[in-house]
Amino acid sequence: MLLIVGTVRLPPENLERAKPVMGAMVQASRAEAGCLEYVYAEDLFVPGLIHVKERWIEQAALDAHFASAHIQAWRASWEGLGIGERNLKVYEVSESRAT
């Protein structure tokens, strides 16, 4: 399994305009084959900071995601929304456990 965790940042005043675009991205990504989880969450204490968490069954599914039309539309929206800072990491996970 692949786990993607990180953040993206945008000007807080653009957040309301970004939400429908982000919602479309999340909904389309969750419908993709191999997507186990896809979440954007607004930070409660840092305006404009969005936490990202994705889980993918395998690299081929993630590769297909990166080639999808909805991710291309999402990336095309970044400049207009002021999304510049992105800090995302991919982790290979062999197992999970409850804490």
pLDDT score of 19: 96
Domains contained in the chain, CATH given: 2-92 (3.30.70.100)
CA distance 86 to 21: 17
pLDDT score of 28: 98
pLDDT score of 30: 98
Q: Is the pLDDT of residue 97 over 90?
A: no
- The tens digit of pLDDT for each residue in 31-86 reads 999 999 999 999 999 999 999 999 999 999 999 999 999 999 999 999 999 998 99
Any idea what the Cα angle at residue 2 is, between residues 57 and 96, rounded to 5°? 90
The per-residue b/e assignment along 4-25, b for 16 or more CB within 10 angstroms, e otherwise, is beebbbbeeeebeebeebbeeb
pLDDT score of 96: 83
pLDDT band at 95 (very low <50, low <70, confident <90, very high): confident
Instruction: Collect all residues with Cβ–Cβ distance below 8 Å to 89 and sequence separation of at least 6.
Output: 4, 5, 6
* Single pTM value for the model: 0.92
- Residue whose structure tokens are 């996970």: 93
The DSSP code for 55 is E
CA distance 97 to 42: 26
